[in-house]
Amino acid sequence: MSVLLDILSWLLLMAGSFFVVTGGIGLVRMPDFFTRLHPSGLVDTMGATLIVAGLVLQAEEWQVSVKLLLVLVFLYLTGPTATHAVAHAALVGGLKPWTKGKGKDQD
Amino acid sequence: MIFFVTASAIIIGMALALSRAVLGPTIYDRILAINSHGTKTVLLIAVIGFLTGRPDFLDLALVYALINFIGTLAALKFFKYGRLGDEP
Amino acid sequence: MGGKLVHAISLYAALFGLWLLLSGFFEPFLLILALVCCAFVVAIAHRMDVIDHEGQPVHITWRLLTYLPWLAVQIVRANIDVARCTLSPGRPIDPILKWVPAGQRSDLGTVIYANSITLTPGTVSTSAEPGRIQVHALTRDGMAALEKGDMDARVRAVEG
């Protein structure tokens, strides 16, 4: 049973690491600010969820699990708000989004 | 062992985010990169807590998650208005 | 006015629960300290006039809990899509900025909808007004999925 839990937790941690690194790569690779917002969300949601889930399976006391889940809740509450604040500030600040072609049918 | 791998992956992600913060080009890119870097720091603190067998680190992760959010908003506000408090 | 008491009690219960979870000590002295501290915080919150249906949305909590699993599935799907866009060679992205209608009746509903949009990678809300939300999407498919209005209808159902 414990071996099974270990394997499951390893898989979750590996998947979480994959998403964290992918988010970092996207942050460097994407062409402009607005497209970089999306890989950042990758780390905020999937990376954090999978890593915390993997750690919860390794926790020995219930308090540790509860604190890990609280970290996740706070990240979920603050992540989108911060992203929205930065995106809105950039838009108000006059940053033009990168588009593939001419940028038709936009408001 | 697995914690080492996860911690290394998070540190790689942090390095990539930091490189974006250094490259810019706009201030918003930098703020976004630092916000993302902070999220990864929270995860790294949690993983290090398990790596060293001291789950007390989770309290730091909790506080860091909140401070990271406030810090991002404060940096944005300071950039926009040039001050943090009310009208002088 | 009676509603305000419900929100204050819910805030008090949430604060006390958070204290218990974080401290893990159950000695009488510390529990009394917790009760006093939480009462103090609720008093300050009352003075700041932030105890209302937006801070303590007790009226939609149960419906919100049924909405979250659906949102989680959407987040997982969107994550895989964005990861594929990020890692595939070339640039398979086609970003678009557009206003989408938001049919929620209250500000709280609009905020829940905007936050759900941002939480799903591939779409980020950049501005929100009553009735409409400006969204930046990484691909046209992401924008098309949002414009089908599935998430909009579900958040409206949460609102009741």
pLDDT tens, A39-88? 888 888 888 899 999 988 888 888 888 888 888 988 888 888 888 888 88
Contact C126 A91 (CB under 8 A): yes
Instruction: Identify the CATH number of the domain in which residue B8 sits.
Output: 1.10.287
CA-based torsion, C55, C59, C61, C67: positive or negative: negative
* pLDDT above 70: residue A107: no
Domain ranges of chain C: 2-48, 59-159
Contact A51 B33 (CB under 8 A): no
* pLDDT above 90: residue C36: yes
* Residue C14 CA: distances (Å) to CA of A101, B70, C21, C31: 50, 22, 11, 15
Cβ-based contacts under 8 A for chains A and C: 109
Least confident of B58-67, C75-84, C138-147: C138-147
Integer-rounded Cα radius of gyration of chain B: 15
Calculate mean pLDDT across residues C20-35: 86
Classify burial at B63, counting beta carbons within 10 Å of its beta carbon; exposed 0-12, middle 13-18, buried 19 or more. Answer: middle
Residue to substitute from A25, A38, A73, A78, interface C, most C β-carbons within 10 A? A38
Residues of A in contact with C135 (CB under 8 A): none
Residue to substitute from A60, A69, A73, A75, interface B, most B β-carbons within 10 A? A75
* pLDDT above 60: residue B23: yes
Number of domains in chain B: 1
B74: containing domain: 2-81
Residues of A in contact with C76 (CB under 8 A): 46
For residue C101, list its beta bridge partners. C132
Residues of B in contact with A48 (CB under 8 A): 39, 42-43
Residues of A in contact with B19 (CB under 8 A): 28
Could you tell me if residue B58 is inside a domain? yes
Tell me the nearest-neighbour CA distance from C25 into chain A, angstroms.
11
Per-residue pLDDT at A2: 82
Closest among B58, C113, B43, C119 to A45, alpha carbons compared: C119
Name the phi and psi angles at A46, rounded to 5.
-70, -45
Per-residue pLDDT at B88: 62
Is the separation of the CB atoms in C109 and C92 below 8 Å? Answer: no
Could you tell me if residue B86 is inside a domain? no
Q: How confident is the model at residue A92 (pLDDT cuts 50, 70, 90)?
A: confident
* Interface pTM, i.e. ipTM: 0.84
Calculate mean pLDDT across residues B4-9: 89
Per-residue pLDDT at C41: 92
Per-residue pLDDT at B87: 65
Could you tell me if residue B87 is inside a domain? no
* pLDDT above 70: residue A105: no
**Chain B CB within 8 Å of residue A41 CB:** no
pLDDT tens digit sequence for C57-75? 777 788 888 888 988 898 8
Nearest CB among A25, A46, A88 relative to C79 is that of A46
